[in-house]
């Protein structure tokens, strides 16, 4: 077999630059790390964090954090029974490396361990033929799950599922999904399969048919006057998942919530927003947020999605198309996946 030393990888070289495809050395797995031969990498809005240096990453950096591939080489000390060569695995935003002994690790918040790595930010990501990550970053792809369709679940999927699971809403709760794009179309499916009654919320009615097919029982056009009243008439809304980064939607969403309702922020709103405290206090309402998940959370998400036939709507592109896909990500109604292998 050919003993290759270099691979193709998509890297950001400077703040604001485009992703450039370059040849670089195939990385070696350190002690406790694993090398993965990448099959697919999903394109996520957060790739722009690397592009624009929002999290102060170093350059050049291989971006991409919805990485799906097969275990190809083990570093020293990695359990060969648990991590078998050829196993299909996924890596999300959290690049593992938790210490296990700090306050956050001991409180089951290992995502916030100061040693935790971020895939495609503090270590090279998945727009490359190979990636190396600590073994604690890996989740196993359930048998029979379609690899290509699984990639977007590694970041978008886990964010939606974990954010909801940790709120402990009762089955039958009325949950609104605001923004039916890459995150929202997955949120409708997770909400429905978790037993909630779903209100899809979007501008215009072009997303109504798809939303209902994905499991929404109601559709509210938020471009129309009176949508807040319409929400209230449907019932007492327990939660609205904000998946569209528009600051002006925060206050009306709070008004649309029922008593004890929660506005769940799942996207970064790029500017400060207004929230009226009286609206909140007079209804015990709150604004909560959620930050992805670790590899155990990803495993739970994949198992739940597989069991419940949750699938993203995807379009697949070659690595050369990443820049174009990222430029249009805000308009996309689906998740994009880059085929690497």
- Please, which residue, 106 or 282, has the CB nearer to Zn ion? 106
The two tokens of residue 337 are 């996946």
Name the residue nearer to Zn ion (CB basis): 123 or 216: 123
What is the per-residue DSSP string for 183-245?
THHHHHHHHHHTTPEEEEEESSSTTHHHHHHHT-SEEEETTSTTHHHHHHHH--EEEEEE-S-
Identify which of residues 46 and 336 has a Cβ nearer to Zn ion in the complex.
Answer: 46
Calculated CA dihedral for residues 318, 322, 324, 330, nearest 10 degrees: 120
Q: Which is nearer to Zn ion, 55 or 99 (CB)?
A: 99
CB closer to Zn ion, 155 vs 199:
155
Residues that bind Zn ion (CB under 5 A): 44, 46, 98-99, 102, 105, 113, 155
Q: How far is the CB of 152 from Zn ion (least distance, A)?
A: 9
The CB-of-1 to Zn ion minimum distance in angstroms stands at 34
User: Minimal distance in Å, beta carbon 218 to Zn ion?
Assistant: 28
Peptide bond into 60 cis (omega under 30): yes
Angle at the Cα of 139 (from 135 to 142), degrees rounded to 5?
140
Query: Rounded to an integer, what is the distance from CA 62 to the centroid of its chain?
Result: 18
Which candidate, 226, 210, 227, 208, places its Cα nearest to that of 218? 208
Q: Which two tokens stand for residue 46?
A: 């957060």
Q: 33 or 93: whose CB is closer to Zn ion?
A: 93
The residue among 15 and 106 lying less far from Zn ion, judged by its C-beta, is: 106
Residue 306 CB, nearest approach to Zn ion (Å): 20
Q: Output the smallest distance, CB 139 to Zn ion, in A.
A: 15
Q: Which is nearer to Zn ion, 99 or 341 (CB)?
A: 99
- Residue 28 CB, nearest distance to Zn ion (Å)? 25
Short-list 62, 81, 70, 32, CA closest to 124: 62
User: Using the 8-state DSSP alphabet, how is residue 128 labeled?
Assistant: B
Q: Look up residue 200 and give its two tokens.
A: 């899809």
Query: Radius of gyration over alpha carbons of the chain, in Å?
Result: 20
Give the span between the Cα atoms of 248 and 276, in whole angstroms.
Answer: 12
Length of the chain: 341
């Amino acid at each position: 077999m050919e003993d290759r030393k270099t691979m193709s990888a998509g890297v950001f070289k400077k703040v604001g630059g485009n992703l450039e495809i370059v040849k670089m050395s195939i990385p070696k797995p350190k002690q406790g790390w694993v090398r993965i031969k990448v099959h697919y990498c999903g394109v996520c809005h957060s790739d722009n964090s690397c592009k624009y240096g929002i999290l102060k990453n170093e350059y050049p950096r291989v971006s991409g954090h919805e990485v799906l591939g097969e275990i190809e080489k083990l570093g020293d000390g990695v359990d060969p029974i648990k991590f078998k060569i050829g196993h299909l695995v996924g890596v999300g935003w959290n690049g593992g490396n938790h210490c296990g002994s700090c306050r956050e690790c001991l409180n089951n918040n290992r995502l916030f361990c100061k040693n935790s790595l971020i895939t495609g930010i503090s270590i090279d990501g998945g727009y490359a033929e190979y990636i190396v990550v600590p073994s604690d970053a890996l989740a196993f792809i359930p048998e029979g799950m379609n690899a290509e369709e699984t990639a977007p679940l590694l970041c978008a999927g886990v964010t939606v599922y974990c954010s909801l699971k940790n709120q402990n809403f009762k089955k039958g709760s009325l949950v609104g999904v605001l923004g039916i794009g890459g995150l929202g179309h997955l949120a409708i499916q997770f909400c429905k399969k978790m037993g909630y009654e779903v209100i899809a919320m979007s501008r215009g009615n072009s997303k109504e048919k798809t939303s209902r097919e994905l499991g929404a029982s109601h559709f509210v056009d938020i471009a129309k006057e009176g949508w807040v009243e319409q929400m209230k008439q449907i019932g007492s809304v327990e939660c609205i998942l904000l998946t569209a980064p528009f600051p002006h939607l925060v206050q009306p969403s709070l008004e649309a919530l029922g008593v004890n309702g929660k506005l769940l922020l799942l996207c970064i709103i790029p500017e400060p927003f207004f929230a009226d405290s009286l609206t909140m206090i007079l209804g015990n309402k709150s604004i909560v947020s959620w930050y992805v998940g670790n590899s155990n959370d990803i495993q739970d998400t994949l198992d739940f999605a597989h069991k419940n036939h949750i699938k993203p709507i995807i379009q697949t592109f070659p690595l050369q198309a990443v820049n174009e896909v990222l430029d249009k990500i805000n308009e996309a109604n689906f998740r994009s996946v880059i085929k690497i292998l």
